[in-house]
Structure 1
Amino acid sequence: MRTSRHAALPYTRRIAAASAATIATLALTMGTVTTPALAQDLVPQSDKEAEKMVEDRQAEDSSSLNRSNVPEGVSVEQAKKAIEKSDEITTADVEYAAALEDLPDSGVPEDFYTTPATLPDKNGGVVKQVTSKFYLDPAKLIEHSAKSETFMYKTTDEEGTARAATATLLTPEGANEDAEDAVVIAPGTQGIADKCAPSRQMGMGTEYEGISVTSALAAKRPVVVVDYVGLGTEGAHSYLNRVEEGRSVLDAARAAQEVEGSSINADTKLQLRGYSQGGQATAAALELKKDWAPELNVVSASAGAVPTDLYKTVSELSSVYTAFALYGVDSFARQADVDMTKHLNQKGLDAVDRASNQCTIEALVSNAFLDTDNLTKDGASFQELIEDNFLEVADKQKLGQAEIPDIPLLVNHSHLDDVVPFALGKELASTWCDAGHKVLFRDNLGPTHIGGYIATVPRIEIFTNRTFAGNAPVDSCWRL
């Protein structure tokens, strides 16, 4: 067994791998997360190497693993689990697979995400915390200087069940001992598997929200990055469930005040921000705040490319993004208690199962242009499947229908967004204007969903600095 493959990886291959992952992120992300970039190391570089890899994989047998052929620092049990978990990981890749399982370099061991027998009584109560790491690149050559603490806290799901969720608090060098202001980031789509949680991805250097995180940290203010209920911890992640996302954001903001060493307190001015799924979570948190967390000192919010109407979003979703439809079907079926074996053929069941265990870039690549008509027993499209079975679930996620705090609001959206229809973003801004709020609506021409995301980052920081200073933003309501 070739146990030293990663240790001996040439420097040029490492840089190439990192570059490839970065390009893939910018090209394919939709508010999405890359698969761990070191997976690029597993791609064969020649036909001969590809043939050898196939032979190796055909000859896999986890029972052959023992202490003599497993890399140092990896238990035999971990190695066997890695081999048996996926036919895409060979014995030669055990060290990488174990790192993916336990993220030892992030400082967050796998057992940290295990929910204890009892949880605090109050939502936002801290359960435990651990020092973690935030890498800016997938080759782990650049670690951000901010102090990073990953913490677990108590929240409550839509059914009223107490749940443990996780988040990460980053405190930049030079920050005040008592933070005057802080940013709470609700991340875009990560996937629905536990390995895709931002707190795990940040430790791997593969979290695309690093763009927004580093931008906020540059202003010397603390940043909280939310994982969402069931993303990292036990239990299912109810993808695009507005109640659970909104509560996760608000309770993470509460818990950040209790994290040992935190500079955030009850008087700290907070901004909630997010894009795509994160924009939905931010808007949901605003709608829930009055009843769920009235004490939080939220003074502004930024919501980008918000899928305010999931049915309209799915209806116009390009086949490039079939992975998101697969995520939605998996999540909606659980929320609606629908048995998908009655609607999907074996190919469809396999596609949903595969996507549910992939982070978003991997899922996008694996399922791009997949014809969903071929996944159902009666030849219906996923859009028809949602119309027939999940409209009630989708309608419950609609935004823009509830009262929100009277604070400065930024809504941003690209005319060229190919995931969330531009009309939804403009409609949300108009709705908030009609309710009497001051709304800064920033449209742009960023190509695709991710282009729109990148284009908004500088504008968000200007808006953030102005609102934290007590200045009202330019009001766009007159032109909506």
Structure 2
Amino acid sequence: MRKTRGTVSGSAAYSPRRRRIRSAVAVLAASVTAAGLVTVGATSTADAAGNFYNPPSTFDSDPGSIIRSQSSPLLLQIPGVKNQWPGTATRIMYTSTRQDDKPVAVTGTVVEPTAKWNGKGERPTVVLGPGTIGQGDQCAGSKMMSFPLSIDPLKPSLGVNYSALEMNLLLINGVRVVMTDYIGMGTPGIHTYVNRLESGRAMLDAARAGLKFAKAPKDAPVGFSGYSQGGGAAASAAELASDYASDLNVKGTYAGAPPADLSKVINRIDGTFIAGAIGYAINGLDARYPELAPILKRETNAHGRQALKQVATQCIADTGLAFGFQRTKDWTRSGKSLGEVVKGIPKAQKMIDDQRIGKLKPNAPVLLSSGFNDDVIPHGQVAQLYRDWNKQGADVKLTNNYTPPIFPGLTLNHVLPMLDKLVPSTNFLLTQFDS
């Protein structure tokens, strides 16, 4: 495998398709089977009550098995009409594996593109990991495919599916897309936000499920892509693939602004508009590490405990409005930030260290991206991930965005690099599929 030592500038071209994709962006801007199932068929619909997200009492435990499926029209599509642009979407429930190796039902969406695949070989599949959209079940991306907003005036709650831009770029190039909701998002249980094993496995099993649903060959090319939380999920999938999913023919991964080292990320976002997202991570850890509960009881005050409870049912916009620019020192009894508390408790620090990405070697090329002035995901820990993988001989590149600081803490320096890398990241994946 070729070892890449340098970095790639943000303006670098990865494919001769660049011009084609740029024009597609303009158009987008203008247009705004599993065998062995115990109780459900290969593509059964939801139960009689219409509760698609409630798993059956028994289901096939093999990772990547399809538990059930349901039609899911995309934006501006007419239900029941075939071959609509940009593709045909189906909501799926599939089997994945928790951190403790127990099977778990996960939901997501498979989108079969209307456009033909004009590259080499079989049509490729890209699994998209959404960025931070929240921890409440209403935030699941598969619930926002027909309309990119989810508004619940009774909670109140506002969800946004902003992965549609990347999804459509891939679809118009004939790439099949599978978008995972991650473990615990929409389905019962807490969403285990930025859990390294569970997010990576959810991505890998989404690829398996997507191939099965499309009746594609098992060795059809697969890629992973995501930004922020999704970048971490994609990066985790890339390095877990060799061991957990050696059956997949992984061709490449794009991981934008991955939170590879949570100890660095927690300190960075504390006091920003999305400071409450720290609560997502704590809640996710609490769901998998029983030893964390007494620590939280001892260290958090009443306001902190209420904040953790509240964010567990929110989307990111709700969390920003409720806890934006707060400091987690106001959540603790000691007056120390949660980052400081974790650092002083070995058991808690180990839980954070367990989520560290970069200890395993990806089995296919990876493109990393980072904003040099990112006010959410520190550039330094992305650069460290690059060095960690590079030392292991991985084929990895790092491309940076140098947007100067704009109202630090509002997350603009996190969002703008994401938009900047939409085209280069898509070109990178297309190039891997064509190689």
TM-score norm. by structure 2 comes to 0.77
Query: 1:57-456 maps to which residues of 2 (within 5 A)?
Result: 111-135=51-75, 145-175=86-116, 179-206=122-149, 207-259=161-213, 262=214, 264-320=216-272, 321-337=274-290, 338-339=293-294, 340-389=296-345, 390-405=348-363, 407-446=364-403, 448-456=413-421
Matched letter for residue 238 of structure 2: L
Question: Partners of 2:67 and 2:105 in 1: how far apart?
Answer: 8
The secondary structure found in structure 2 opposite 1:298 is strand
Measured at CA, do residues 366 and 453 of structure 1 come closer, stay the same or move farther in structure 2, by a change above 3 Å? same
Query: 1:28-47 maps to which residues of 2 (within 5 A)?
Result: none
Greater relative CO (CA pairs within 8 A, separation 6+): 2
- Give the CA deviation at 1:306: 1.2
Question: Partners of 1:318 and 1:376 in 2: how far apart?
Answer: 13
Question: Partners of 1:123 and 1:437 in 2: how far apart?
Answer: 26
- Give the CA deviation at 1:109: 8.0
Bigger mean CA offset, 383-392 vs 415-424: 383-392
The secondary structure found in structure 2 opposite 1:301 is strand
- Give the CA deviation at 1:336: 2.8
Unpaired runs of at least 5, structure 2: 1-47, 78-83, 150-160, 404-411
- Give the CA deviation at 1:318: 4.2
Question: Partners of 2:382 and 2:194 in 1: how far apart?
Answer: 16
| CA deviation vs aligned residue, 1:412-470 (integer Å, no higher than 9, x gap) | 11112111111112222222222223323211124511111111101012212221110
TM-score norm. by structure 1 comes to 0.70
Matched letter for residue 198 of structure 1: G
Tell whether the 8 Å contact from 1:135 to 1:144 is kept in structure 2 after alignment. Answer: no
Match in the other structure for 1:92: none
| CA deviation vs aligned residue, 1:7-60 (integer Å, no higher than 9, x gap) | xxxxxxxxxxxxxxxxxxxxxxxxxxxxxxxxxxxxxxxxxxxxxxxxxxxxxx
Tell whether the 8 Å contact from 1:176 to 1:263 is kept in structure 2 after alignment. Answer: no
Measured at CA, do residues 363 and 185 of structure 1 come closer, stay the same or move farther in structure 2, by a change above 3 Å? same
The secondary structure found in structure 2 opposite 1:150 is strand
Question: Partners of 2:72 and 2:143 in 1: how far apart?
Answer: 9
Matched letter for residue 377 of structure 1: R
Question: Partners of 2:171 and 2:257 in 1: how far apart?
Answer: 23
Question: Partners of 1:277 and 1:422 in 2: how far apart?
Answer: 15
Question: Partners of 1:334 and 1:184 in 2: how far apart?
Answer: 25
- Give the CA deviation at 1:381: 1.8
The secondary structure found in structure 2 opposite 1:257 is helix
- Give the CA deviation at 1:225: 0.5
Tell whether the 8 Å contact from 2:127 to 2:207 is kept in structure 1 after alignment. Answer: yes
Question: Partners of 2:50 and 2:359 in 1: how far apart?
Answer: 40
Question: Partners of 1:420 and 1:313 in 2: how far apart?
Answer: 6
Percent sequence identity over aligned pairs: 28
- Give the CA deviation at 1:144: 5.5
Higher helix fraction (1 or 2)? 1
The secondary structure found in structure 2 opposite 1:254 is helix
Measured at CA, do residues 300 and 469 of structure 1 come closer, stay the same or move farther in structure 2, by a change above 3 Å? same
Question: Partners of 1:381 and 1:461 in 2: how far apart?
Answer: 38
Question: Partners of 1:283 and 1:133 in 2: how far apart?
Answer: 29
Question: Partners of 2:103 and 2:422 in 1: how far apart?
Answer: 35
Tell whether the 8 Å contact from 2:190 to 2:283 is kept in structure 1 after alignment. Answer: no
Question: Partners of 2:394 and 2:117 in 1: how far apart?
Answer: 31
Please report the RMSD computed on the Cα atoms of aligned residues, expressed in angstroms. 2.2
- Give the CA deviation at 1:170: 0.6
Q: Which has the larger radius of gyration?
A: 1
Matched letter for residue 344 of structure 1: T
Tell whether the 8 Å contact from 1:187 to 1:227 is kept in structure 2 after alignment. Answer: yes
Matched letter for residue 256 of structure 1: G
Question: Partners of 1:180 and 1:357 in 2: how far apart?
Answer: 38
| CA deviation vs aligned residue, 1:213-246 (integer Å, no higher than 9, x gap) | 1111121211010111111111221111111111
Matched letter for residue 450 of structure 1: V
- Give the CA deviation at 1:249: 0.6
Bigger mean CA offset, 413-422 vs 282-291: 282-291
| CA deviation vs aligned residue, 1:370-427 (integer Å, no higher than 9, x gap) | 232222223222222322452111000111111220x222111111211111111222
Question: Partners of 2:341 and 2:317 in 1: how far apart?
Answer: 24
Tell whether the 8 Å contact from 2:96 to 2:104 is kept in structure 1 after alignment. Answer: yes
The secondary structure found in structure 2 opposite 1:158 is coil
Matched letter for residue 257 of structure 2: A
Question: Partners of 2:266 and 2:144 in 1: how far apart?
Answer: 27
- Give the CA deviation at 1:110: 5.5
